[in-house]
Chains A and B, each alone.
Chain A
Amino acid sequence: MQKKNGWRGARTVVAFAALATVAAALTLSRPATAATPKDMLVIATMLDEFSTLDPGEVYELMPEEYIANTYDRLIRVDLKDPSHFNGDVAQSWSTSPDGLTFTFRLRPGLKFHSGNPLTADDVAWSIQRTVLLDKGAAAVLQGIGLTKDNVLKNVKKIDDATVSVTTDRRYAPTFVLNVLGAWPASVVDRKLALEHQKNGDFGNDWLRTHEAGSGAYRLVKWTANESLILQRNDDYRTPLAMKRIVLRHVPEAAGQRLLLENGDADVARNLSPDDIAALTKSGKAKAVGVPQATLLYLGLNTKNPTLAKPDVQQAIKWLIDYDGIQSNIVKTIYKVHQTFIPEGFLGALNENPYHQDVAKAKALLAKAGVPNGFQVTMDVRSGYPYGEIAQAIQANLAQGGIKLRILSGDNKQTLAKYRARQHDIYIGEWSADYIDPHSNAQGFAWNPDNSDGSSYKMLAWRNSWNIPQLTKETDAALAEPSTQKRAQMYQAMQREMLANSPFVILFQRVSQVATRPGVSGLEVGPINDLVSYRQLKKQ
């Protein structure tokens, strides 16, 4: 009897499970959407960098890409030839004989998404607005000497179709145009923004979650950490094939791969090297690698007396197995690059003289008075590939007797420590704001004030590297009008820093963009600000 009743209980469970399975199968066997429509493109990417949509406030990579496709600007750099610029809202431009004033003539008949006409007032006001807001993006425009005190005077409307920008001193013209072609100079619909102004914020509060541009696409909906939906601007000056573009937040690379394989995404932006290899092999996607303006490097804090020794810095550079880390860990998403200007930039010196040479490194350590090595810490942000690279470097340095202790932490945590100059070694990345060599020279080779209270906390400062001579060279290269001579100046600086600097530049990032067969026209530049959706097509 007991057995019979117990068996009945077991049958109950089995019956329930069967029922649940049938119910699930019935409800769920509806076919999942096979593929996105022809005029709609879905990009699987990571949207966790989005904290604002205001071009005057944005400073992270993916938000820059959003701004680049929803807002126009005066000019844009030509991806095929970075020394050449194409007009965006500007039809033509000229430089004054003293090289200080840049005058732009606007195209006629331009309109914002709101229907408001786009005039010189909007252009001048937008640049003034970014500087006066003084958020992160203002730092780019401050590079050409625009400050809160002078921006109203130096950026002005000449007439309804003409606007001029005057710099505080003479800069290389390509540098000024690169700055004015970057996202902080995006043209904002002045009338619309001012309608939403609160307490003199230039509409900043409203623009954080709304859009007021005239670009190829307009914002339909932004759901933080979920999706961003863009709709074609039918009044745009060139035809656009994609009616709707959806950026979906898919934090896991494997998830992006599955969406791409199943046709639920047309483009995946954050696949791992293994995923890319598998997808391209199966023919379900094609991948294109585009070198990015992002360098992965070690910063050696010269406040640490051992790390301050040039021989120790050299020894560390000779201990690292660059090729081994590249081929085993970062594979297709980074390439070895040891100079501070990325490949593709004016004056880039694509020389990689360092490779692992333990004997040479040991000799240098002995010369520096630490023949048995020393102990040191390295702050490492969590996540791939930083932890993996750090472990490989730990093993490399151990070969020279250097005992490296890895201190893991979140990015913001390690960055705060780095900015406070409290690290020994920091592993991090530096991305250029615009594709001009100064963006990196300013980071690595410029430190006008090495005191703790300095206002300029660039990378040389963070590593307490006092470099009056290199700082002068950086300033001189910035002012050099001859493009050729300027390139030579940057090359000389890179050679100097290869020979002697507390920076161990390891790799340049390569963006691997995977697309489904039939998708074409996604223009990916070395920075996200130069990613364009305008030529996108889908068969």
Chain B
Amino acid sequence: MTPDATTPGAPPPAPDARHAAARRVRVVLLVLRWLLTLALTLAGLLLVTFVIGRKVPIDPVLAVVGDRASASAYAAARAQLGLDRPLALQFLLYARDVLHGNLGMSLLTSNPVIDDIRRVFPATLELATLSTLIGVLVGVPLGVVAAARHNRWIDHVARFVGLIGNSVPVFWLGMMGLLLFYAKLHWVSGPGRIDPLFDGMVDARTGSLLIDSLIAREWEVFFNALSHIALPAAILGYYSVAYLSRMTRSFMLDQLNHEYITTARAKGVPERRVIWVHAFGNIAVPLLTVIALSYSYLLEGSVLTEIVFAWPGIGSYLTGALLNADMNAVLGSTLVIGATFIALNLLTDALYRVLDPRVR
């Protein structure tokens, strides 16, 4: 029999084992804390959205029966929606359904909200991910180089990019993009996710047309979908580039003024290493936060971009639901967006621990 660590007379556990056990406990506590945060945040989000949704002066019954329905049809629809019950009871019943995985039916689409979200969220996810990729791959290097070449031409370029990105409305830029790249140059396809000819040609496994068409090896569908997403992704990506380059430049300028940079340069460390390893390494954590924020902002759905490009994402779905008091759809979308936001925060927290030993 293996002696138990608590058995009197047994040898004390080795320091490594004690540390490992303590680490396991810390990880478990951390996970529990995250889960509790997640549950409390989602519950709070649900409650606040529910109350606001029920108090807005929009009559959801009108969306169901129309303006001219008889009094009996109106009353029946109201009862069917459960709006004749006390508010607290309505919330409890809704929360019960949510806990059972039922987000209810959408008034506007007559579909289960969960099915609608499965359709619209991947469209937003696809667009936001591509845009963020563009933002990170172009914006971060641009910001770093702009800081390294402070007040030189590349810095002016970065500042100009940031200025335009912060001052030009996305709606206008989207329209101009369509006019130039779709209508004049014919480089990309027009509004929508895919041409009607290809609609429904691939099974929706992930909801992302790019990935689904790749899985199905439907190259024509893939390229058509790519030509549709290219412009909205580039436009949103541009805003991401503007934001990330500005933030990266600012972080880098701050770091480059520190004494450890002067020391490194004095020691003869190559400039590239000073910038990309010493300084950039130290901005990784705040930069990660900024990237996560930018990504989560895009995941909430860029309503104007979705309207200009007729992109059926969660932003326009949520807006339409809000304007028609389709509360199941509003609450379902809010939950998904909230959960995504929390998940991104947790992921960022986890990455902090990887990037910054002081946080471990």
| Chain A residues engaging chain B, CB cutoff 8 angstroms | 1-2, 4-10, 12-13, 16-17, 20, 24-25, 27-33, 36-37, 40, 42, 48, 50-53, 59-60, 134-136, 138-139, 142, 208-209, 220-221, 223-227, 229, 246, 248-252, 254-255, 258-259, 261-262, 264, 409-413, 415-417, 419, 433, 455, 457-458
Contact = CB atoms under 8 A, between A and B. Distances in A.
3 shortest interchain CB distances as A-B pairs = A5-B271, A136-B66, A224-B109
Residue among A28, A59, A223, A411 facing the most chain B CB atoms (10 A cut-off): A28
Interface residues of B, number: 77
A412 B193 CA distance: 29
Contacts of A59: 65-69
B200 A221 contact: yes
B285 interface: no
Interface stretch (B19-27, B28-36, B174-182): B174-182
A107 B330 CA distance: 47
Contacts of A413: 56-58
Given A224-B116, A264-B195, 10 more contacts: A27-B230, A37-B197, A51-B64, A52-B110, A224-B109, A226-B312, A252-B175, A255-B178, A262-B190, A413-B56
8 contacts: A28-B187, A36-B197, A37-B197, A48-B320, A51-B109, A136-B68, A246-B196, A264-B190
Contacts of A226: 193, 312
B47 interface: no
Given A5-B271, A251-B307, A258-B191, A209 B110 contact: yes
Residue among A42, A53, A410 with max Cβ neighbours from chain B (10 Å) = A410
Interface string B251-293: 0000000000000010000111001000000000000000000
Contact of B148 (A1, A9, A37, A458): A9
Contacts of B107: 51
B242 interface: no
A13 B141 contact: yes
B145 interface: yes
A416 B324 CA distance: 11
Nearest to A220: B200
A30 B142 CA distance: 29
A412 B227 contact: no
B179 A16 contact: no
B65 A208 contact: no
B73 A252 contact: no
A27 B226 contact: yes
**Residues of B contacting A: mostly:** helix
B199 A221 contact: yes
Nearest to B65: A136
Contacts of B173: none
Contacts of B69: 59, 135-136, 138-139
Given A51-B109, A258-B183, A225 B65 contact: no
B186 interface: yes
A16 B230 contact: no
Contact of A415 (B59, B154, B197): B59
A415 B66 CA distance: 11
A30 B175 CA distance: 21
A9 B72 contact: no
B190 A258 contact: yes
A135 B73 CA distance: 6
**Most chain B CB atoms below 10 A, which of A10, A20, A135, A138:** A10
B76 interface: yes
B190 A412 contact: no
Interface string B94-108: 000000000000111
Given A16-B138, A138-B70, A262-B182, A209 B111 contact: yes
Contacts of B192: 248, 250
B145 A33 contact: no
B58 A410 contact: yes
Point out which of A2, A53, A60 has the most chain B C-beta atoms below 10 A from its C-beta. A2
A251 B310 contact: yes
B226 A135 contact: no
A28 B230 CA distance: 8
A494 to B, nearest CB: 21
A249 B65 contact: no
B183 A262 contact: yes
A13 B145 contact: yes
